[in-house]
Structure 1
Amino acid sequence: MKFKTVREGQQAVVFNYLGEGRLIIGPERVFLYRERLQYLKSYTANQYQFLVLKDKDGVVTHKRGPCEVFHNTMMYDSIEIKDATKIDANHLIVVYKRLKDNDVQRRIIQGPTVFVPEAEEWLHQFTWHGCDATDKTRMIPGHNKFTQLAIIPDQFYYNVRDVRTVDDTMITVKLMIFYNLNEILKMLDTTHDPVADMINAVCADIITFAGKNTFEDFLRNTHKLSELSSFPELTHRAERIGYQIQKVVFRGYHANDRLQLMQSSAIETRTQLRLNAEIEEMKQHLQNFKLSKEEARTKLKQEMEKAEQDHKQMIDNMKQVHELEIKQLQHEQSLKVAAMTTSSKLDDQKAKNSKEIEHLSKLSDLGVDVTLYLTLQHKPPTDQEIRVSTPVFTHTDL
C-alpha cells in the first residue's frame, strides 16, 4: 500500500492484481493497494512531423502534427514519430492508396508543399541508374533511389565503351545528354528506369554511327555527334517514355593506348606545323605592318613637306601681292599728287590770266594801247638781233 502522484501533463496506467488496468490523467494522487502504476511515455510531433499509431488490433492511423499522444499500452501496440515529406517547387511525388475494394489509386502531388500520407498510402520509390561517385561517366544499376522526382531539365555524362569502326578500331565515345520530363504518367506506365532506356538507345545510335565509318571518317564526322539527327533511336525512345532529348554534346573520344599515342603524336606534329605556319604568318604580317607603317610615314612626311612648301609659297605670294598693292597705292598716290599739283598750277595760271585780263581791260578802258603795252612787256632777248630789211622802190622801177 502506498500513494503515487501523477503530475499535471502526465498520464499513467494502474494495473491491479488481476491484470486489469485503468488510465490516470494527472494531476492526481493515487492510492495503490495490490496495484502497480506505470507512467506512460509521451510522443510529440511538430508541424513537420506526424505520428504513426498502431492499435492492438493492427489498425494503423496517422496523426498530423503538432500533436502529443501518450503510449497507452492498453490501446496502442506502438507509436512512431516520422517526418513529413517536404516537396520543393521543382519536384513531385507519386502516391498510391489502397481502397476498400482492394483497388489501388494513384495520384501525383507537386510541390511546394508538406505532404503527410494517410495510413493506406505509400510513396512510389524510384530506382534508377545512378552516377558512380568515383567516375561520373559510369552508371550503376539501381544506385539512384529516391521518392521525389525532379521535373526540371537534367543531364548526365556517359561514355559508350567498346565501339568498333569499319576498320576494326576500338574506341570509347564520350557524351553528355540533356533531357527533360514531359509526361509523368507515360513515364510511370512505360518504364521503371528511363536512364537505362536512354543509355541503351544512345549506345545503339553510337554503334550504328561508328559501324558506317572508318576511324579517319569518324574523326572527320565527329561534329555530327552533337546533332540530334545522329541519334534517332535515342529521341524515339525518349519520346515513348515521356521524355524529350534537348541536346547531345560530343565530349571527345578515347582509343587504345597505342593508337592514342600515334594519334597524339600526329596531333602534336600537326599542331607544331600549324604553329610554325602561324608564326611565319605573324612574321610576314609584322613585316607587312612595318612596311605599311614606313610607307605611311614616308607619305606623311612628303605631305608635311608639301604642306610646308605650299605654305611658304603662299606666304611668298601674299608678300608679292602685298608689295604690288603697296606699289599700286604709291602710284595712285603719286598720280593723285601730280594731278593735284597740275590742277593747282592751272588754277593759279587761270587766276593770274584772269587778273591780267582784268588789268588789260582796265587799261583798255583808260585808252592805253594794249598791243603796244604787251609788246613792251615782252621785250625780245638782248643777245639776239632782229633785222628787218625793207626794199627801196625808185621811180625808175615803177
Structure 2
Amino acid sequence: MKYKTIREGQQGLVTNHLGESLVVAGPCRLFLYRERIRMLNRITASQLQYLMIRHKDGEVEHRPGPCELFINPLEHETVKAIDMISLDANQMLVVYNQKEGNIQRRIVQGPILFAPTAHEWLHEFKWHGSDPNNKARMIPGKDVFNKLRVVPQHFYYNVNEVRTKDDVTLRVKLMIFYELRDVETMLVQTHDPIADFVNAVCSDVIAFAATITYEKLLKQTSVLSKLSTYSQLMRRSKHIGFEVTKVVYRGYHAAESLQTMHDKAIQARTELRLNTDLEEMRQKCEQMKLSKEVDRVEKQQQKQEAEAQHKHALERTNASTQRQCAEILHRAQLEKEALWDQARLDAAKGAKHADLEYLKGLKDLGVDLTRYLVRKQSRNAVDEEVEISAEQ
C-alpha cells in the first residue's frame, strides 16, 4: 500500500491485481492497494509534424500537429512524430489513396506542407542515377525519391563502344538537358525515364557513327550537338511525357594507340599550319613593303609632276603678266603720243585762230591786210636769213 501523486500534465496507467487497467490523468493523488502504476510517455507534434499512431488492432491513424498524445501500451503499438513533407513550387508528389477497395491517384503540387492520411501512401521513384565516382556513368536504381522535380534538369553520359564505319571504337561524351511536361503520361508510359533517355541516345549515336569514318566524325562533331541527330531520343522523350531541350557534345575518347597517332597527326598538322601561317605572314609583309614602295614612288612622281606643273604655271603667269604690262605701257605710250599730237594740233589751231582773229581785228581797223601780210612775210624771210647767217 502506498500513495502516488500524478502531477498536472501527466497521465498514469493503474493496473490492479486482476489485470484491469485504468488511465488516470493528473493532477491527483492515488492510494494504491494491490495496484501498480505506470507513468505514460508523452509525445508531441509541432505544426510542421504529424503523429503516426499504430493501434493494437492494426489500425493506423495520422493526427496532424500541433497535438500531443500519451502513449498507452494497451492501445498503441507505436507512436511517432513525423515531419510533414515540404514541397517547393517546382516539386510535386504522386499520392495514392484506397477508398472502398478502389485505388485512386492524385498529384500534389507545391508549395505546400503535406501530411498524408492513414489511407494514403506516396509513389516511390527509383531511377538511374549518376555514379558518385564517375558522373558520366549511370547506376540502375541509384536515385530513390518521392519528390518529383518539374524544373529543367540535366545529366552527363558517355556512350561507350561507338564504332565508326572504318571500325574505330570511340567513347562519345554527352550532356542531356530535359524537362518533365506531363506527369500522368510519365507514370503510365515508363518507370525509369533516365534509362529510356540513355538507351535512346545510345541508339542515335551508334547509328550516326556507323555511317561515317573516323576522320569525317571528327570533322562533323558539331552535328552531335543538334537535336535533329537524336530522332529516337526525341520520339521516346515525347512518348513518356518529357521534352529534351538540348544535347551538348562534350568530346570523345579513343584507344590510347589511336589517340597517340591522332595527337601526332594533330601536332604535325598544327606545325604545318603554323609554318604556313608564318610564310603567309612573311609574304604579306614583303607584299606590303613592295606595295608601300610602289606607293611611295608614285607619290614622289606625283609630287615632281605637281612641282613641274606649278613651275610651268608660274612661268606662264609671269609671262602673261609681263605681256600684259608691256601692252599696258605700249597703250599708255600711244595714248601719251596721241595726247601730245592732239595738244600740238590744238595749239596750232589756237595759234591760227588767234592769227585769224588778229587779222580780223586789223581788217576791222581798216588795215590793208595784203600789204601787211606781204611785209610780214618779207620780214620773216629776213629774220630767217639773219638766223641762218648767225648760225654759220
How far apart are residue 135 of structure 1 and its match? Answer: 2.3
How far apart are residue 277 of structure 1 and its match? Answer: 1.4
C-alpha separation in 2, matches of 1:45 and 1:371: 172
Query: CA 1:214–1:3 in 2, change beyond 3 Å: closer, same or farther?
Result: closer
How far apart are residue 85 of structure 1 and its match? Answer: 1.4
Written as runs of structure 1 = structure 2, the 5 A alignment for 1:52-63 is 52-54=51-53, 56=55, 58-63=59-64
Structure 1: 5+ residue runs without aligned partners?
386-398
Query: Could you say which residue in structure 2 is the equivalent of 1:245?
Result: 244
Q: Secondary structure at the match of 1:99?
A: strand
TM (norm. structure 2) is: 0.80
The AA in structure 1 aligned to 2:127 is W
How far apart are residue 280 of structure 1 and its match? Answer: 1.1
Equivalent pairs, count: 369
How far apart are residue 104 of structure 1 and its match? Answer: 2.5
The answer to which structure has the higher helix fraction is 2
Written as runs of structure 1 = structure 2, the 5 A alignment for 1:189-204 is 189-204=188-203
The AA in structure 1 aligned to 2:87 is K
Query: Could you say which residue in structure 1 is the equivalent of 2:135?
Result: 136
8 A contact 1:62–1:118 mirrored in 2: no
Q: Secondary structure at the match of 1:137?
A: strand
How far apart are residue 256 of structure 1 and its match? Answer: 1.3
TM (norm. structure 1) is: 0.79
How far apart are residue 299 of structure 1 and its match? Answer: 2.3
Query: Could you say which residue in structure 2 is the equivalent of 1:123?
Result: 122
Q: Secondary structure at the match of 2:136?
A: coil
C-alpha separation in 1, matches of 2:189 and 2:255: 38
The AA in structure 1 aligned to 2:86 is T
C-alpha separation in 1, matches of 2:365 and 2:93: 162
Query: Could you say which residue in structure 1 is the equivalent of 2:11?
Result: 13
C-alpha separation in 1, matches of 2:321 and 2:44: 119
CA RMSD in angstroms comes to: 3.3
8 A contact 1:5–1:30 mirrored in 2: yes
Query: Could you say which residue in structure 1 is the equivalent of 2:92?
Result: 93
C-alpha separation in 2, matches of 1:247 and 1:73: 55
How far apart are residue 196 of structure 1 and its match? Answer: 0.9
The alignment status of 1:45 with 2:33, answered yes or no, reads no
C-alpha separation in 1, matches of 2:12 and 2:104: 44
8 A contact 1:96–1:124 mirrored in 2: yes
Written as runs of structure 1 = structure 2, the 5 A alignment for 1:200-239 is 200-219=199-218, 221-239=220-238
Deviates more, 1:29-38 or 1:263-272: 29-38
C-alpha separation in 2, matches of 1:136 and 1:219: 24
How far apart are residue 203 of structure 1 and its match? Answer: 1.6
C-alpha separation in 2, matches of 1:129 and 1:375: 163
Deviations 1:246-300 (A, max 9, x none): 3433333222111221122122212211221121111111211222222222223
Aligned-residue sequence identity (percent) comes to 35
C-alpha separation in 2, matches of 1:110 and 1:377: 157
The AA in structure 2 aligned to 1:115 is L
C-alpha separation in 2, matches of 1:83 and 1:308: 99
How far apart are residue 39 of structure 1 and its match? Answer: 8.2
The AA in structure 1 aligned to 2:176 is I
Q: Secondary structure at the match of 2:116?
A: coil
C-alpha separation in 1, matches of 2:40 and 2:372: 184
Query: Could you say which residue in structure 2 is the equivalent of 1:393?
Result: none
C-alpha separation in 2, matches of 1:324 and 1:114: 111
Q: Secondary structure at the match of 2:70?
A: coil
Q: Secondary structure at the match of 2:62?
A: strand
The alignment status of 1:286 with 2:289, answered yes or no, reads no
The AA in structure 2 aligned to 1:78 is V
Written as runs of structure 1 = structure 2, the 5 A alignment for 1:1-398 is 1=3, 6=8, 11-16=9-14, 18=16, 19-24=21-26, 30-34=28-32, 38=39, 41=42, 43=44, 45-46=46-47, 49-54=48-53, 56=55, 58-63=59-64, 67=66, 69-74=67-72, 77-88=78-89, 91-111=90-110, 113-119=111-117, 120-219=119-218, 221-378=220-377, 379-380=380-381, 381-382=384-385
C-alpha separation in 2, matches of 1:220 and 1:2: 90
The AA in structure 2 aligned to 1:382 is E
Query: CA 1:23–1:332 in 2, change beyond 3 Å: closer, same or farther?
Result: farther
Deviations 1:23-75 (A, max 9, x none): 34xxxx644544969586463524xx2322426463322425xx3x2332348
How far apart are residue 195 of structure 1 and its match? Answer: 1.3
8 A contact 1:92–1:108 mirrored in 2: no
Query: CA 1:20–1:214 in 2, change beyond 3 Å: closer, same or farther?
Result: same
8 A contact 2:160–2:172 mirrored in 1: yes
Deviations 1:98-147 (A, max 9, x none): 13213232222344x12313313333332222222332221222222333
8 A contact 1:177–1:245 mirrored in 2: yes
The AA in structure 2 aligned to 1:21 is V
C-alpha separation in 2, matches of 1:188 and 1:13: 48
Query: Could you say which residue in structure 2 is the equivalent of 1:392?
Result: none
Q: Secondary structure at the match of 2:10?
A: strand
Query: CA 1:322–1:299 in 2, change beyond 3 Å: closer, same or farther?
Result: same
C-alpha separation in 1, matches of 2:199 and 2:99: 41
Query: CA 1:171–1:95 in 2, change beyond 3 Å: closer, same or farther?
Result: closer
C-alpha separation in 2, matches of 1:326 and 1:62: 129
Query: CA 1:146–1:302 in 2, change beyond 3 Å: closer, same or farther?
Result: farther
The AA in structure 1 aligned to 2:153 is D
8 A contact 1:171–1:256 mirrored in 2: yes
How far apart are residue 241 of structure 1 and its match? Answer: 1.5
The AA in structure 1 aligned to 2:46 is A
